[in-house]
Amino acid sequence: MKDPAQSSTDHQENPPSASVSTVPLWIFALTLLLIFLGTVYFDHHSGWFNPQIYSPFENEAQLEAYQPKSGSAAMIARGKQVYEQICGICHGVDGMGKPGQAPPLAGSEWVNASSYNRLAHIPLMGVNGDITVEGKDWNMAMAAMGASLSDADLAAVLSYIRNSWGNKSAMVTPEDVAGVRAAIGKNPVPMSAQQLEKMPQ
C-alpha cells in the first residue's frame, strides 16, 4: 500500500491537466473549400440577388433567351442561330465578311435591296464570279448554302441579316421564300451577279 503522504507529493508533481491539442489543419482547409464552393455556387445561381433569376437560369441573358418571343423578335432570334451555324462561318458572326473567304453582309447592297427576290436567290441557288459589294470586287463562289433550310429558317436568316450590324431592311416571310423557291424549281445552278441584276430586286 502507498504511503498517503507519498501519493500526495506524486499528485503535486503531476497535476491533472486538460489536454490541449491544436485544431487540425484539414478543418481549416475544408472550411475554406466549402466557402469557395459556396461562392462558386452562389455566383452561378443567384443572378446577383435578382429574385426573378433562379435555377436553372444563371443570369439575365439566359433568362431572356428562354422567354417566349413573338413575331419578328422570335424570327430574328432563330435567324441568328441558323446564321451563326452556317453563314457566319464564311461571312463572320459580325457580318463583316472575311478576306479571301466571303464579302461582308453588313452594309451590303445585296442584303439591303429594296425587296427580297434577288437576295433570296443567292442562298437558294448560289452565286459565283465577279460581284461588287460596297464598291469592292470579289470573284469567288458560294454554293446554294441555304437550299436545304426550311422556308421558315431561310426567311429567319434573311430577316436577321437585313436587321443586324446596322442593316435596317424589311423582314422576309416564309411565304416570300417559298415563292422564290417555287420559281427556281428543281434546278438550282449558281448565278452570276450580272444574272441577278437582271431580275427584279
Q: Is 92 in the site for ligand HEC (CB under 6 A)?
A: no
Q: Min. distance of Cβ 69 from ligand HEC in angstroms?
A: 21
Q: Min. distance of Cβ 111 from ligand HEC in angstroms?
A: 5
Angle formed at CA 195 by CA 156 and CA 100, multiple of 5 degrees: 65
Nearest CB to ligand HEC, comparing residues 47 and 108 = 108
Nearest CB to ligand HEC, comparing residues 63 and 89 = 89
Cell 423578335 identifies what position? Answer: 73
Return the closest-CA partner of residue 90 out of 63, 41, 59, 127: 127
Q: Footprint of ligand HEC on residues 125-154 (CB under 6 A)?
A: 127-129, 131, 133, 138-142, 145-146
Selected binder of ligand HEC within 75, 108, 120, 124 (CB under 6 A): 108
The type of residue at 37 is L
Selected binder of ligand HEC within 75, 122, 171, 172 (CB under 6 A): 122
Q: Are residues 120 and 158 in contact, defined by beta-carbon separation less than 8 angstroms?
A: yes
Phi/psi for 87 (5° steps) reads -65, -40
Q: Is 91 in the site for ligand HEC (CB under 6 A)?
A: yes
Number of residues that bind ligand HEC (CB under 6 A): 29
Q: Are residues 82 and 149 in contact, defined by beta-carbon separation less than 8 angstroms?
A: yes
Q: Min. distance of Cβ 143 from ligand HEC in angstroms?
A: 7
In terms of C-beta density within 10 A (0-12 exposed, 13-18 middle, 19 or more buried), how is residue 110 classed? buried
Task: Give the Cα separation of 80 and 159 in Å (integer).
Answer: 9
Selected binder of ligand HEC within 63, 77, 89, 170 (CB under 6 A): 89
Q: Establish how many alpha carbons lie within 13 A of residue 54's alpha carbon, considering only the half-sphere containing its beta carbon.
A: 2
Nearest CB to ligand HEC, comparing residues 47 and 144 = 144
Contacts with ligand HEC by CB under 6 A lie at 86-87, 89-91, 102-105, 108, 110-111, 119, 122-123, 127-129, 131, 133, 138-142, 145-146, 157, 161
